[in-house]
Amino acid sequence: MAKLPYRGLMIAIFIAFVLFLYTPIFTIIILSFQGPDGGLTFPMRGVSLHWFAELFGPQSIGDVWGAFYRSLSLGGLVMVFTVVLSLMAGLAYRRGFLGSTALLYVAIASLIMPSVVVSLGIGAGFELAGVQRHWSTSGLGAHLTWTLPFGLLIIFAVFNRFDPAFEEAARDQGATGWQTIRYVVLPIIAPSLIGIALFGFTLSYDELARSSQAIGAVNTLPIELQAMQTNATTPIIYALGTLTTGLSFLVIGITVGAAMLIRRQQQRQGSDAGKGV
């Protein structure tokens, strides 16, 4: 293809956009290492771990560690539910079933529904039923309305590119339906399932809008963070932001790494589908 016009300008725009995306977050990472007398903005008054220590010390900033624990647990739960239910639904769509189009439209509606409406509905439902709202019940459900549509759309894309010849070959060799899924389909789509897990965990871990009315009496970390930032006067909120962003980066790194490793292994060995039998 011939050279495209304004190449330099386009590269400059892209770099500017990446800087726009990342500079703020790296700024608060730097500022979280403020000295004990430092404030919310530059200049740095010394470099220290003071504000991280403050996070671990006896604090006056609410139940950060409880919230952190709840967010991790909920993220894990949401991740498992999202991967398993999306995979099952993906398999169902390959067979075809009555109402498949309706389910897809419900999923898309759930994705673009204003979160505050979903949250309000779940809150009202539990209130009317006289059931206590809790992060592991109403909270879990609220998060799934947000993560499952992503899971379903990804699994659609995965199976659209899936060559049915692999399964036919397995069946020809006498594999049962379950064996075909376990030893042929799952190994092939494993990197994509890891991708769905990433969506499930991180979207839940950072979810705020749908949680607001559904989470119950105790907060998850994003809610705690939002409450903190309204009266934050010290860099302690940056320290917490640095930690939680670090965790997100770690999860993304592990996921992308794992997916690439599996893919590379598959390329080296051909597909390892069938090896486990």
Partner 1 sequence: MVMTATDLPSTEAAAAKPRRSPVGNAYAYLQALPMALIFGVFFLIPIALVVVVSFFDYQSFDILIPDFVTFNYTDVFSSEVTYRTYLQTLTFCLIVWAITLVLGFTIAHFLAFYITSLPLQIVCFLICTIPFWTSNVIRMVSWIPFLGRNGLVNQGLMGAGITDEPIEWLLYSEFAVILGYVHLYTLFMIVPIFNSMIRIDKSLIEAAKDQGATSWQILKNVVIPLSKPGIAIGSVFVLAIVMGDFITVTVLGGGQIASVAKTIQTELSYLQFPPAAANAVVLLGVSILMIFALLRIVDIRKEL
Q: What are phi and psi of 234, to 5 degrees?
A: -125, 165
Among 38, 75, 123, 187, which residue interacts with partner 1 (rule: CB under 8 A)? 123
Q: What whole-number distance in Å separates Cα of residue 135 and Cα of residue 125? A: 15
Two tokens at 207?
């979810």
Distance CA 118, CA 210 (A): 6
Listed in sequence order, the DSSP H helices in 130-213 are 140-160, 165-172, 177-180, 186-205
Binders in 135-154 for partner 1, by CB under 8 A: 138, 141-142, 144-145, 148, 152-153
Q: Using CB under 8 A, which residues numbered 68 to 97 contact partner 1?
A: 81, 84-86, 88-89, 91-97
Interaction pattern, residues 226-265, with partner 1; x per rule: CB under 8 A: x--x--x----xx--x--xx--xx-xx---x---------
Q: Residue 162 or 218: which CB sits closer to partner 1?
A: 162
Site for partner 1 in 154-183 (CB under 8 A): 156-157, 159-164, 167-168, 177
Read off the tokens for 208: 């705020």
Measure the CA–CA gap between 188 and 181, rounded to whole angstroms. Answer: 10
User: For residue 214, what is the enclosing H or E element?
Assistant: none
Within 12-51, the residues that bind partner 1 by CB under 8 A are 13-14, 17-18, 20-22, 24-25, 27-28, 31, 39-42
Nearer to partner 1, 88 or 277 (CB): 88
Q: Which residues contact 69 (CB under 8 A, 6 or more apart)?
A: none
Contacts of 261 (CB under 8 A, 6+ apart): none
Which of 45-53, 117-125, 185-193, 267-275 is the region at the interface with partner 1 (rule: CB under 8 A)?
117-125
Choosing from 116, 131, 254, 261, the residue that interacts with partner 1 (CB under 8 A) is 116
Residues 190-219 that bind partner 1 (CB under 8 A): 198-199, 202-203, 205-206, 208-209, 212-213
Residue number with CB closer to partner 1 (18 or 261) = 18
Closest Cα to residue 36, out of 28, 44, 25? 44
12 or 275, CB closer to partner 1?
12
Cβ count within 10 A of residue 43: 8
Cα 274 vs. chain centroid, distance in angstroms?
A: 31
Q: How far is the CB of 228 from partner 1 (least distance, A)?
A: 9
Residue 54 binds partner 1 (CB under 8 A):
no
